Amino acid sequence: MANYSNHARQPMKTGSKLANRDSGGAGPANNNAPVLPLASPLMGGLNKKKKPFLGMPAPLGYVPGLGRGATGFTTRSDIGPARDANDPVDDRHAPPGKRTVGDQMKKNEEDEEDLNDTNYDEFNGYAGSLFSSGPYEKDDEEADAIYAALDKRMDERRKERRELREKDEIEKYRMERPKIQQQFSDLKRKLSEVSEEEWLSIPDVGDARNKRQRNPRYEKLTPVPDSFFSKHLQGGEKHTSVDPLQGQFGLNAPFPGGLNSPFPGGMTPGLMTPGTGELDMRKIGQARNTLMDMRLSQVSDSVSGQTVVDPKGYLTDLNSMIPTHGGDISDIKKARLLLKSVRETNPHHPPAWIASARLEEVTGKLQVARNLIMKGTEMCPKSEDVWLEAARLQPGDTAKAVVAQAVRHLPGSVRIYIRAAELETDVRAKKRVLRKALENVSKSVRLWKTAVELEEPEDARIMLSRAVECCPTSVELWLALARLETYENARRVLNKARENIPTDRHIWITAAKLEEANGNTQMVEKIIDRAITSLRANGVEINREQWIQDAEECDKAGSVATCQAVIRAVIGIGIEEEDCKHTWMEDSESCVSHGALECARAIYAHALQMFPSKKSVWLRAAYFEKNHGTRESLEALLQRAVAHCPKAEVLWLMGAKSKWLAGDVPAARSILALAFQANPNSEEIWLAAVKLESENNEYERARRLLAKARSSAPTARVFMKSVKLEWVLGNIEAAQELCTEALKHYEDFPKLWMMRGQIEEQSENTDKAREAYNQGLKKCPHSMSLWLLLSRLEERVGQLTRARAILEKSRLKNPQAAELWLESVRLEYRAGLKNISNTLMAKALQECPNSGILWAEAIFLEARPQRKTKSVDALKKCEHDPHVLLAVAKLFWSERKISKAREWFLRTVKIEPDLGDAWALFYKFETYHGTEEQQEEVRKRAENAEPRHGELWCADSKHVLHWQKKIGEILALVSSKIKNTF
């Protein structure tokens, strides 16, 4: 025993526990059941019938014979002797092969440690856990929890990156292997345009079944002849089969109705003609007619006594029987029961009666609804709602009686009196009802207003004078009375109103409008100022937004002085000093958007008083006058502006342009002269003076001005304008000399190189033009226009390969340049290489995914069925790009969707009014599909917008032959050159 004890204490706890679990669980069963060894001779002949549970430990708590009624008990021999927790486990009752703890541990080690080569991994070693046989204690559990928390935290740190990577992988996979649904998405979008006729004309799918399945032989039924019935009726025979001789009538099968019994009704007297036994078909027809008459009499209207059913009226009645509600019948029954329970439980609850009546009304039972609501008036005679519902449900005269009864119960109800007046059809009767109501309820503003609306002006004035005595706190009644009175009386009325209601601003504003309407404009400012003071004294908070809204209403009503006085009084209330300018500019824009131009003008005037030296405020006010005012008001404002801001060149130029457009050239010259004094050597003013002289055919003056400008203010633009003037006037040599001189000073100005090359092209000196462009690109490698001009020059002379190489070189030097990509695509398209152009467009969209000009070109590179899909993708990428919007408008135009095309054209010119191509296409569209008024409107809007950009627009507007053309002329010229090839 000592050796055994020492040996049992050496293994780990786990082995001991395993031993206990495997050997100590037999309990009392092991004591009672004999344990036979596996090699016992008694079991030798029973190996084939060996039970799997033999030799296994009994389950815990097993009592032998318990199912047969045995009683279990436990003795000391069952549970073993008392021992200490550290004592070894007694394995006497363990099954064979598991006798000792040492044996059990050996077996566990053999089972758990598998050192086979197939179970070895280079990274993890042998499979399985090294410590799986060890005890799992509390510190192990804490360690596992810490490791799990660390794993979770590390996983969260990498979660965002992992999700992005997975998303990219999924998108890449979807692009490589799109779903069938995505492949057919463009075709599915086109299904919305398929008409019903086209849909019905689609042929059906062919039937793949064989001929016998496609064309089954249907059962043929042949009517039985009358002779068959007459023959068998005579003898009253019973047959279970058909005579083969009757096969000539097609009776190859028994009669469907069953021939086992006589013909139904065959023995009834009257169907056979006396003495013959044959069917009397005449009587059968009479019986059928009688049955039809009975049915028709059932559906006839017994109330009106009609005996013949009108087909139209009958169908109408059937339609009226269809319930108009959308609920289920079972739900209606439940609601009806519920409401009945509510009425019985609380009969004096008005909503229950109203709900019950409305339920019956909805289900079409109007009379039941009327009965219910009348019962409700008996149970709830003091409920205003019940009486009004009863008056609504009852027909005309009955409703009047109901209302009269309601007045007796509720003599102070305003709503019932109003309903009574509505039920009257005669105006005099309405007046009588309302006057009776006012006798009982003289304090109701609603009754007074309703009664006054029915009266003539004189009677209304008398009634209002009485109304304001009864309701002195009603602003509406006071103001209505003031409107009907004369000027003097109206002033008295408004003074009384202010005494009775000292906290209402509308009375003061009405008084100011009254004074303005009678010519006392000097009183308007005083009244508004007194109003602000008085309202503040009475504790009224001055709400700036409300007062501005009142000013806008005054503006719309034509009370300009009142509107301006209100704006001046409240515009600065509640605003910090540093926020004044920003807030006032927002207020003025809001007033313009609401159509209150005088309010906006007053806000600008106040802002200019507060900020007289702010150039931005003067500019905003000038643009406001330019867009919404007159030429005189604009010029007056600009005179004040240049007096306060003499260094603001744009204000001088606006004033000079206004005079020039009005035809007053001397005045424009004088303004520019004053501008020269205030801004000596200003490039803008020099160029404006040159433009003024050249536009008015004073070319010598323009030359002298440019010569002075080159000497006193030599800038690149001045030289460019000098070259341009000589070029357009036909002095090519002078232009070339000036260009050469300018390039000595400003060789990095690309427009000079462009003009030099274009002058050489015009003179048909291709080599010199190429040399000019190449020199310019050395100095200005980032000028897109120079690259385009050189490429187009090579294309014109037939050097397509060289043009392609130039564009590729330009793209290398200017990555992500959409203009260069577009030119490359168009170059291949013009050469007839559509596949290469499509490939280049795909690359371009990858490099410049948000370029509107590329997406607009890509739409029309597609075939017609795919254009709509491409336009949707373009709008997703460039929602507010004017080129994309213009392409969508052209797309609708090509599909003859005129209204949609016009809508998209309007949207384009609103987003980008400076895009001349949009105006030209819009004008072209209106010449085809619009009226003369619409064409004129587009032309005027284009002239006001003064567009300067656009590929087609600049090609004509900057041409040397068109340098003196106005906006309207260029618009017509560009639109005439547009070919509707899309």
According to the model, what pLDDT value does residue 824 have?
A: 94
- The pair of three-digit structure tokens given for residue 532, joined into one six-digit string: 């602000």
Measure the CA–CA gap between 136 and 677, rounded to whole angstroms.
Answer: 98
Contact in structure between 95 and 74 (CB atoms under 8 Å): no
Predicted confidence at residue 244, as pLDDT, reads 46
Q: Could you read off the pLDDT of 587-613 as tens digits, one per residue?
A: 888 888 888 888 888 998 888 888 888
CA–CA separation, 859 vs 878, rounded Å? 13
Is residue 354 within 8 A of residue 386, CB to CB? The reply is yes
Overall average pLDDT of the 486-510 stretch: 82
**What's the rounded Cα separation, in Å, for the pair 187 and 185?**
5
CA distances from 441 to 32, 245, 417, 451 (A): 106, 100, 10, 13
Closest CA to 565 of 579, 547, 586: 547
Higher pLDDT, 373 or 155: 373
Neighbours of 440 (CB within 10 A): 14
| Alpha helix positions (H), 215-256 | 226-235
Over residues 121-145, mean pLDDT: 69
pLDDT score, position 840: 93
Write phi, then psi, for 700 (nearest 5 degrees). -65, -40
Q: How confident is the model at residue 496 (pLDDT cuts 50, 70, 90)?
A: confident
Percent of the chain with pLDDT over 90: 18
CA angle 51, 54, 58 (to 5 degrees): 130
Band of pLDDT at residue 522, cut at 50, 70 and 90:
confident
The arithmetic mean of pLDDT across residues 906-931, rounded, is 93
For range 626-652, the mean pLDDT: 85
Q: Which amino acid is at 449?
A: K
Q: Are 516 and 532 in contact (CB under 8 A)?
A: no
Least Cα distance to 625 among 606, 598, 659, 643 occurs for: 598
Which tens digits make up the pLDDT trace of 66-113? 667 666 555 655 555 555 445 444 444 444 444 444 455 544 544 555
Q: Residue 47: pLDDT above 70?
A: no
* DSSP-assigned letters across all residues of 419-454: HHHHH--SHHHHHHHHHHHHHH-TT-HHHHHHHHHT
Say yes or no to pLDDT of 358 above 70: yes
User: Does position 905 have pLDDT exceeding 90, yes or no?
Assistant: yes
What is the per-residue pLDDT for 937?
A: 93
Residue 464: what pLDDT?
A: 78
Structural contact between residues 30 and 57, judged by C-beta atoms closer than 8 angstroms: yes
Please report, for residues 131, 142, 190, the alpha-carbon distance to residue 139 in angstroms, rounded to integers and kept in the order given.
14, 5, 68
Q: Which helix (H) or strand (E) holds 901?
A: helix 898-911
Element (H, E) at 121: strand 120-121
Residues 6+ apart with CB under 8 A from 922: 889, 905, 906, 908, 909, 938
Q: Is residue 427 within 8 Å of residue 454, measured between CB atoms?
A: yes
Q: Which residue has the higher pLDDT, 299 or 39?
A: 299
Q: How many CA atoms, within 13 angstroms, populate the side-chain half-sphere of residue 449?
A: 12
pLDDT of residue 476: 78
H or E element in which residue 120 lies: strand 120-121
In this structure, are residues 651 and 618 in contact, taking their beta carbons and an 8 Å threshold? yes
> Considering only 272-281, 345-354, 674-683, 902-911, which range has the smallest mean pLDDT?
272-281
Query: 271 pLDDT band (50/70/90 cuts)?
Result: very low
> pLDDT at residue 510 above 70?
yes
- Compute the mean pLDDT over every residue in the chain, rounded to the nearest whole number: 77
Rounded to an integer, the average pLDDT of 665-672 is: 82
Specify burial of residue 60 (Cβ count, 10 A radius: 0-12, 13-18, 19+): exposed
How confident is the model over 189-225, as pLDDT tens digits? 778 888 888 888 887 766 666 666 666 666 666 777 7
Residue 11 reports pLDDT greater than 50: no
Q: Give the best-scoring range by mean pLDDT among 8-22, 362-376, 510-524, 808-822.
A: 808-822
Is pLDDT above 60 for 655?
yes
Q: What is the pLDDT of residue 9?
A: 38
Please tell me the least confidently modeled range out of 90-99, 892-901, 922-931: 90-99
> Which 3 state secondary structure label does DSSP give 915?
strand
The per-residue pLDDT for 918 is 94
Question: How many residues are there in the chain?
Answer: 982
Of 592, 528, 606, nearest to 561 by C-alpha is: 528
**Which range, of 148-162, 201-215, 327-341, 628-642, averages the lowest pLDDT?**
201-215
DSSP 280-316: -HHHHHHHHHHHHHHHHHHHS-TTTT--S--HHHHHH
Is 907:885 a contact under the CB 8 Å cutoff? Answer: yes
Reported confidence tier of residue 135, pLDDT bands at 50, 70, 90: confident
Helix (H, G, I), strand (E, B) or coil at 594: coil
The pLDDT confidence band at residue 875, using thresholds 50, 70 and 90, is very high
Q: What pLDDT does residue 505 have?
A: 85
What distance, in Å, lies between the first and last C-alpha atoms of the chain?
A: 107
What is the rounded CA–CA span in Å between residue 605 and residue 617?
10
Rounded Cα distance between 658 and 676, Å, is 18
**Which is more confidently placed, 554 or 277?**
554
Residue 46: band (very low, low, confident or very high) from pLDDT cuts 50, 70, 90 = very low
Alpha-carbon gap, residue 773 to 789, rounded angstroms: 8
Gap between the Cα atoms of 123 and 316, Å rounded: 88
User: What whole-number percentage of the chain has pLDDT above 70?
Assistant: 76
For residue 164 the two structure tokens come to 């992005």
- Does pLDDT of 531 surpass 90? no
Listed in sequence order, the DSSP H helices in 346-395 are: 350-362, 366-379, 384-393
Q: Do the Cβ atoms of 19 and 80 come closer than 8 Å?
A: no
Distance (Å, rounded) from C-alpha 128 to C-alpha 824? Answer: 65
Residue 125, SS3?
Answer: strand
**Which band of pLDDT confidence, cut at 50, 70 and 90, is reported for residue 575?**
confident
**DSSP output for 257-288:** T-SSSPPTTTTSTTSB-TTT--B-HHHHHHHH
Tell me how far CA of residue 453 lies from CA of 232, 431, 483, 486, 490, in angstroms.
90, 10, 14, 19, 19
List, as own/partner pairs, every contact residues 594-601 make where C-beta atoms lie below 8 angstroms and the sequence separation is at least 24, other chains included.
594/552, 595/556, 596/551, 596/552, 596/555, 596/556, 596/563, 597/555, 597/628, 598/555, 598/560, 598/563, 598/564, 599/548, 599/551, 599/552, 599/555, 599/563, 599/564, 599/567, 600/624, 600/628, 601/564, 601/629
Which residues, 6+ apart, have CB-to-CB distance to 780 below 8 Å? 748, 749, 750, 753, 786
Who wins on pLDDT, 845 or 263?
Answer: 845
Q: How confident is the model at residue 940 (pLDDT cuts 50, 70, 90)?
A: very high
Tell me if 707 sits within 8 A of 700, measured CB to CB: no
Q: Please, are residues 571 and 603 in contact by the beta-carbon 8 Å criterion?
A: yes
Q: How far apart are CA 853 and CA 881, in angstroms?
A: 9
Average pLDDT over residues 792-811: 92
Question: Which pLDDT tens digit goes with each residue over 716-757?
Answer: 888 888 888 888 888 888 888 889 888 888 888 999 999 999
Whether the per-residue pLDDT at 639 is higher than 80: the answer is: yes
- pLDDT bin (cut points 50, 70, 90) of residue 974 is very high
pLDDT at 473 over 80: no
Half-sphere exposure of 762 (CA within 13 A, CB side): 17
Is the Cβ–Cβ distance between 854 and 826 less than 8 Å?
no
> What does the block give as tokens for 86?
């550290």
